[in-house]
Structure 1
């Protein structure tokens, strides 16, 4: 019996090749898109869960208060970890990390080779007791036990030493510290938050290892709790320890624990995070909704075509029942037919996944593999989806038609009285509502990103290059480099600086006077006087920083503030000149010498805050900021590299263009916009496949009506309009539903930006017209085909 049903099902599918092909293509495309997005989401949720003790590992974060505003920091004082392990019973172990030079690149030399290393960390020897870090070479018990020891990743070992055994080799860091390679660890997996290429022993940094403090919050600290220990209990005990050891007037923070498994997707509002792999929960939510919408649209598309096609089989079902077929046998036959089509669609979707995965990896900057499709979660999801689609899509012919008596099914007027038409129209509205929402979202995504990229920053990052100079062996080297760079024909101006806008800085607090307890958070940057010309800042009052002679013993610090900081002090820019900036560098020794116009020194998610350039010797100059002419950029960079190599032969040449650095700040948003745009197009394609099938069905059902109208004088335009108008009305209704929904969704997304666009009405009009145009082209192709048919052929058919 089953074999007979299988033959009949395959015969019916082959007989209706157009509908079978549209059904398979639409459903398989929807499944492919959903699978791709599901693999991406699964990868995001899997971050850091590969550690065996992941559920018991927590990062110690700080909640910091400045200017009545709360901030979260991923770093804590270096004393907190050891104190927690000693004083809190539930803390089994702790490990501290310190990023080299607070996040700056390290210059590594080994023999004659020179490298720039962006990911050098210092860590406690307890690292192996907390995290799973398998060593390919070396002993985890002793690898980080002593000062001047370092572990390197497998990839880094190959880059530094090729096929040589790296154990026992020496690495020189910044031409100052020599480290011995004591181990090689397996590369971190892609879904790891840790991105260290080198991990040195924490004891090497003596100032951090020996000078324990409750104030300098520069260290990422992780604790391993006993399985029975509640993190809230540890937090309460930690709070008591802080109150016991930190005087109230110096207690600028409280501490809390963040689970390791939450770090990747829930650190977007946490500052001073070491890793670059910070996920975006909003992006994941968007992609979850997108995956669900695409799958629903594909299923709706399938159900639409299936119910439309099944209505042509009233007579077939009636004859079968008249010949004695029971309701269950008829239902089983339709379910088998649907199951075969769904199974073929799933197999096709897996093949499409293999083909599209490299493109998706490039689009989303991932390294997903098709092997992940074989995971239990994906297989179970496919089985459930296939079963659900089979049960729902096959339910109309299997249950609804099989329930009627044969005499009803054989009546021609019975078809007009069924509710399938209303059901299909409702599904078309849902499909196009989702499609229009996605189109509107894509346009607004790109509008906001374009606004961010073209917004006036208040300074000029174009053609400014930041060259790292931390490996300089002496001031003489730096002076020689600056003189050589200034002499280059394509160099406009040169300055030295601790950092550059959007790349951080030192955090300090500004007060209105000595008695005031109100603090204003400031970002400070140690710079030479030429920073105004190099960055193209607008000096609105006073002058730039003075040059301090070598023999100067004056302890007064000069600062140039931005307008925002001056406004906090209650001065106009002109009145601020010569005033004191209390709290920045002591109580009464900081003089305001200049005021610059506000500029965006953070990304556009954050409002402009306080900023100060200063000449205090509290931080070193880490960068050479060089303003280049735009005409011969390639030649200018070649000359700059030659000057650097001749002046600092022991250091590798590392540089960053400020405008490229700024663009990289919005990579997450750019990837989201690209993914949404591409899958919006695919979603519309799936919806149009369904619309094409329904238009073909409608034209087929109205063949005789079209013939009669043509005989009575109707022209092709009138017939196309007749057949298309019903579908275009449905798309119009979808537009009315989608517009407020899309406005609400995108307005919520835009609230994450301190500086944002205003949503324009033309976006909705354009999306609506686009949907109508696509629907018109899809439907009119079938309508025109029907209208051009010879009426003699139309009228002779029963």
Structure 2
């Protein structure tokens, strides 16, 4: 019996190849998208799941939002150590980047010599000896425990061993630096991509330090422990040991297995993913599969008349309703199975492009679990899509089937109309979503941030001591002399990231603003180099020696500042220019700042974050790492200047490797998840419209064939081609239009909810919804009109010659 079903399926496909091609294309596209999104979703959800007790390990975050700053991934190690004795805390592990080591211990030398060649160690972190109990690592050579227990020893990744020594087994080999040498004690396998840890080099964390570490603290809690309660207790303990403004800080715990979706703040080791992007992908894939299934249902119902005699003969010969249903379900499953094979081939071809777009390492693995999942989806979609057409065709009596009267069933007509309207609604909704997302991302890209993004280079992760030891260090002067460079200044803040410094200031009118004022420590020519808009006063200038920070004998710091416009207004100055020349002081009285200028507001970091007004100082640095910002001359060869600037940094600061980029590229990176979603919505919207057109093409084809005698009679009676096209397309236009109208309120609510996530957002325009609906109607009309015009051009005698 199954062989007969299979033969009948092949015969039906051969008889109507257009029907088969449309269904195959629709299901192939939908299933390919589903498989790709499934791979992406599984990859995203796999982050940090491989580590021991990942569900019970938490990272300690510090909440500085009461200061006007952000929730950051780092925390003070002392407060975590205080909780080590807590009954529900099993163990505490600390990991610190060498960038922050200068706060609490002797800086670690990263520039080393290998066989006489200068290199820089990559991604160096110091860790406590219990790190292997928190992170799943494979040791290839040596002893990792020893490397994390004794100073002067290093554990390096496989990639780092190959880079430094050209072989994986580097145990016992040494790296020389100015004051001594490091010995390689262990080599571990490269960390997988699906983890937020990024280190290539590990060293033991010093036990004796000047002050607590500021780094990453991980805690393993006991079974059933209440993480929120423990965080509250940690906060209370921290505040009891703190004074002044430090009492405003709070601690939070974030589960290790969920960090990938909760790691968008400052000081993250790796930029996290977006749960929203994943959810949008899943939702859009479901919509594509719905459209493909609707196409299948519509085309099968519309084409039922072509199978009328076959079904009638089978019923007359004794075929049962169950056998007919099984036959048509077999056809449906066969088509979906072929589509799944085509989809797998499409996915294999698309994976490189998907990895480039998503910045992931997706791969197609034909594991038994994967194949079972694909087959389950094939059966589910095949049954759902084929069940109603099978029931519809098998439900008629032999007499009615043989008469070819299938198209007159009211239920079938309503199902066809409802599904066509659903397709129209989904297409309008996706076009609206694409337009709103695109417009919002255009707003973010063109958002007035208060500084210049174009023609600006930034050199990152430079030693702040070398940049701020004097107002104009030699490295600045050398860079400024480069062809194509207009100006250079220092900065302790990545403009596209988050604020790292702050001041508590008292204004001359006695106003003490709540919280802190985020601060950027710059150098001379800050307004010109950063592209700020000066409202009043002047830029920091070497012509004014008092601009640069000076420290008196009684340890009071004096420097000049630039205030943002809204900061001055918050302090009660409606006319900010009156502050020019006046002196502000810190709450402690240990700092005095002379206002030399007022600038337009500067927006640091992401558009998703609410930004407080900032101020700029000259040389008042309190971090270990700084940057250099370079203003380029117009139409300069940026790549050439980047190479030359990198070489100057290597020579002047003895840094083998230099991180340099364009600020406009960094800004794009800060909003990568939003731009990624923009591309995904645009892609899925295009695919949905293509599938909808394919469905309408099939329906219009059947409708035209069904009404070809009517068309011929109308032509004989003098109807024009345009009138015939109008008559045939009217039903499609009406149904799709109603679907589009019903989609509008739902689309508005969904997109408004998404827009509320942004601090700066667009307002949805009514014309977008009107344009989307008209666009779908136009595409529908063109699709139907092409077939209708062809039918209207056929000579009536060819159609009516047997009547």
Flag whether TM exceeds 0.5 (same fold). yes
CA-to-aligned-CA distance 1:368-427 (integer Å, 9 cap, x gap): 1111x5362x44443333223333333234333333332343445564143212111111
Q: Does the Cα contact within 8 Å between 2:266 and 2:498 map onto a contact in 1?
A: no
Partner of 1:90: 88
CA-to-aligned-CA distance 1:260-294 (integer Å, 9 cap, x gap): 111111334xx334222311122122112111111
Partner of 1:51: 51
Asked if residue 523 in structure 1 is aligned to residue 518 in structure 2, the reply is: yes
Partner of 2:412: 420
Q: Please, which moves more after superposition, 28-37 or 3-12?
A: 3-12
Partner of 1:188: 191
Partner of 1:338: 332
CA distance in 2, matches of 1:425, 1:550: 75
Q: Give SS of 2:535's match.
A: strand
Tell me by how many angstroms 1:364 deviates: 2.1
What is the TM-score normalised by the length of structure 1? 0.90
Q: Give SS of 2:488's match.
A: strand
Partner of 1:258: 254
Cα separation, partners in 2 of 1:109 and 1:505, compared to 1, 3 Å: farther
CA distance in 1, matches of 2:430, 2:294: 17
Aligned partner (choices 770, 775, 779) of residue 770 of structure 1: 775
Partner of 2:453: 461
Q: Give SS of 2:375's match.
A: helix
Q: Does the Cα contact within 8 Å between 1:157 and 1:184 map onto a contact in 2?
A: yes
Tell me by how many angstroms 1:31 deviates: 0.8
Task: Name stretches of at least 5 consecutive residues in structure 1 with no aligned partner.
Answer: none
Q: Give SS of 1:50's match.
A: coil
Q: Does the Cα contact within 8 Å between 1:534 and 1:625 map onto a contact in 2?
A: yes
Q: Does the Cα contact within 8 Å between 2:407 and 2:413 map onto a contact in 1?
A: no
Q: Does the Cα contact within 8 Å between 2:81 and 2:92 map onto a contact in 1?
A: yes
Cα separation, partners in 2 of 1:273 and 1:498, compared to 1, 3 Å: closer
Q: Give SS of 1:79's match.
A: helix
Asked if residue 446 in structure 1 is aligned to residue 442 in structure 2, the reply is: no
CA distance in 2, matches of 1:539, 1:8: 79
Task: Name stretches of at least 5 consecutive residues in structure 2 with no aligned partner.
Answer: 103-107
CA distance in 1, matches of 2:435, 2:118: 46
Q: Give SS of 2:597's match.
A: strand
Aligned partner (choices 216, 221, 236) of residue 217 of structure 2: 221
CA distance in 2, matches of 1:249, 1:9: 77
Cα separation, partners in 2 of 1:107 and 1:141, compared to 1, 3 Å: closer
Asked if residue 166 in structure 1 is aligned to residue 167 in structure 2, the reply is: no
Asked if residue 14 in structure 1 is aligned to residue 14 in structure 2, the reply is: yes
CA distance in 2, matches of 1:103, 1:448: 40
CA-to-aligned-CA distance 1:55-77 (integer Å, 9 cap, x gap): 1111122334426x695332221
CA distance in 2, matches of 1:234, 1:645: 47
Asked if residue 611 in structure 1 is aligned to residue 614 in structure 2, the reply is: yes
Q: Please, which moves more after superposition, 541-550 or 449-458?
A: 541-550
Tell me by how many angstroms 1:165 deviates: 4.1
- Aligned counterparts, 1:593-632, within 5 A: 593-614=596-617, 615-616=619-620, 618-619=622-623, 622-632=626-636
CA distance in 2, matches of 1:73, 1:775: 51
Partner of 2:570: 568
CA distance in 1, matches of 2:266, 2:465: 26
Tell me by how many angstroms 1:692 deviates: 1.0
Q: Please, which moves more after superposition, 387-396 or 348-357?
A: 387-396
Tell me by how many angstroms 1:694 deviates: 0.8
Partner of 2:126: 122
Tell me by how many angstroms 1:178 deviates: 5.2
Tell me by how many angstroms 1:693 deviates: 0.9
Q: Does the Cα contact within 8 Å between 2:160 and 2:200 map onto a contact in 1?
A: yes
Partner of 1:557: 558
Cα separation, partners in 2 of 1:611 and 1:471, compared to 1, 3 Å: closer
Q: Give SS of 2:452's match.
A: coil
Partner of 2:308: 314
Superposition CA RMSD, Å: 3.1
Asked if residue 356 in structure 1 is aligned to residue 354 in structure 2, the reply is: no
Cα separation, partners in 2 of 1:677 and 1:622, compared to 1, 3 Å: same
Q: Does the Cα contact within 8 Å between 1:537 and 1:596 map onto a contact in 2?
A: yes
Q: Give SS of 2:59's match.
A: strand
Cα separation, partners in 2 of 1:490 and 1:400, compared to 1, 3 Å: closer
CA distance in 2, matches of 1:79, 1:60: 12
Cα separation, partners in 2 of 1:476 and 1:520, compared to 1, 3 Å: closer
Q: Please, which moves more after superposition, 631-640 or 416-425?
A: 631-640
CA distance in 2, matches of 1:749, 1:779: 35
Aligned partner (choices 734, 749, 762) of residue 757 of structure 1: 762
Aligned partner (choices 264, 272, 275) of residue 269 of structure 2: 275
CA-to-aligned-CA distance 1:352-373 (integer Å, 9 cap, x gap): 22122222222222221111x5
Aligned partner (choices 614, 638, 656) of residue 661 of structure 2: 656
CA distance in 2, matches of 1:636, 1:326: 80
Tell me by how many angstroms 1:613 deviates: 1.9
CA distance in 2, matches of 1:591, 1:471: 23
Aligned partner (choices 482, 486, 490) of residue 492 of structure 1: 486
Q: Does the Cα contact within 8 Å between 2:549 and 2:558 map onto a contact in 1?
A: no
Partner of 1:210: 209
CA distance in 2, matches of 1:610, 1:299: 53
CA-to-aligned-CA distance 1:574-625 (integer Å, 9 cap, x gap): 2333545444774664443432221222222234312222233544673333
Q: Does the Cα contact within 8 Å between 1:526 and 1:621 map onto a contact in 2?
A: no
Q: Does the Cα contact within 8 Å between 2:549 and 2:557 map onto a contact in 1?
A: no
Q: Please, which moves more after superposition, 466-475 or 691-700?
A: 466-475
CA distance in 2, matches of 1:689, 1:359: 25
Partner of 1:295: 289
Q: Does the Cα contact within 8 Å between 1:520 and 1:610 map onto a contact in 2?
A: no
Q: Does the Cα contact within 8 Å between 1:706 and 1:794 map onto a contact in 2?
A: no
CA distance in 2, matches of 1:138, 1:236: 41
Number of residue pairs the alignment of both structures matches: 784
Aligned partner (choices 191, 197, 201) of residue 200 of structure 2: 197
Q: Does the Cα contact within 8 Å between 2:168 and 2:187 map onto a contact in 1?
A: no
